[in-house]
Amino acid sequence: MKPIAVILLAVLPAAVVAGLVEVRLHVPPPGRLALEQLWWVDLTAKVDIDTTVWLEGYVNEAREGQVFSAKSNEFRLILRTGEKKTVRLKDIKVRDQKYKRGYEAFYIRSGTIPEGDYAYHVKLMPDLGEGKRDVRVTLPGPPRLVLPLDGDTLAERFPSFIWTRLVPAPQGQVSYRLRLVELLEGQTKEEAIAANTPWFEQKGIGRTNLRYPVSARSLGTPKKGGGFAWQVEAYQGNALLGKSSVYEFWPSVKPTCHVDSAHVEGEPVEFGTFTDLDAAAVPVNVRFWGSSDEGTVTHYHWRVTEAEEPDVVVGLGVGDEFDIPDLGVPRSYLVYVTVHCSGGKTRTAAFGLNIEAD
């Protein structure tokens, strides 16, 4: 004898059957929508269910209309009343996929879909329930350069280059390419990065910082100019996702003002890198030290910004010791510390902090 629920599905009118399972779609990350979010549903039975089902998904864009549709394989759904089952992309096989040109990211599971206002709709078939959700998709912004500061004079022989990741983060792995070119006399930094042969270049960087390699060409004062221009590009495979603006800096052969070291919660940190902390450390104490070869250190100041939005300042002040307050977790910060020396000389260094939930 067939299970009672199966008999009910066979004889109830479609309008009644359509409400037998609640279909809840998970909220995608801000600004994003990909295949993984489309096929991530919670199925909650309103009656006992034991039957064969499949999922159908549809995506519509406000101006373009339907841009994607697909179905899953059939699978057995057995639930007691009130019981929930979560279905994700890894649990099903997607078939009968149709997509509009320009929306291949739904099919190939990488890259980004165009900006727009989307409505996506998942049905549990045959007509057991459905869920709908709206999302606005925004393309990731380009990486933003953090250090060296634009126009800075560098004392370090092997400086750290720091930039931000793409926001919102695209689906899939992102790599970065850093290009450094000589700034020739009479050139703007933009002209230099567009026309000059790289002094140094590295591709496939999987993080958002790079210390200048000891084995690379020396950053001694260039013969034909006096400075360098640098830029970072973000890639997914061979696809260019965005370029940063261009910054310039000059090497200093006789540095006299220094940021010597910094400690976070009493432990030394390395400039140009990120340090992970748990939420138990909040508020975070920072202390730093500087020195001068010719004269004295006159004063210190500091600035803390959002790591992903360096223009968003969350704290600043004067002094060589300060606390970063509790601003919620998880959270990432950039900490800039500046030493002021006599004669108007200054030196700035920076490091990152990732504060994670307990």
Distance CA(261)–CA(250), nearest Å, equals 22
What b/e readout covers 182-199, taking b as 16+ CB neighbours within 10 angstroms? bbbeebebeebbeebeeb
The gap between the terminal CA atoms of the chain, to the nearest Å, is 52
Residue spans of the chain under pLDDT 50: 1-17
CA atoms within 13 A on the CB side of 35: 25
- The pLDDT of residue 18 is 54
DSSP for 93-133 reads -EEEEEE-TT-THHHHS-B-PPSEEEEEEEEEETTTEEEEE
Q: How far is CA 80 from CA 4, 40, 51, 124, 202, in A?
A: 12, 21, 12, 17, 57
- Which residues make beta-bridge pairs with 279? none
Domain 145-251 has CATH 2.60.40: yes
| Contact yes or no for 243/193 (Cβ under 8 A) | no
- The pLDDT of residue 271 is 80
pTM here?
0.56
Chain-centroid distance, C-alpha 34: 15
- The pLDDT of residue 9 is 45
Domain 4-137 has CATH 1.10.20: no
| Contact yes or no for 23/122 (Cβ under 8 A) | yes
The two three-digit tokens of residue 305, written as one number: 């910004």
Fold of 257-356: Immunoglobulin-like (2.60.40)
| Contact yes or no for 272/322 (Cβ under 8 A) | no
% of the chain exceeding 70 in pLDDT: 86
The CATH 2.60.40.1220 domain(s) of the chain lie at 257-356
The two three-digit tokens of residue 227, written as one number: 């400075």
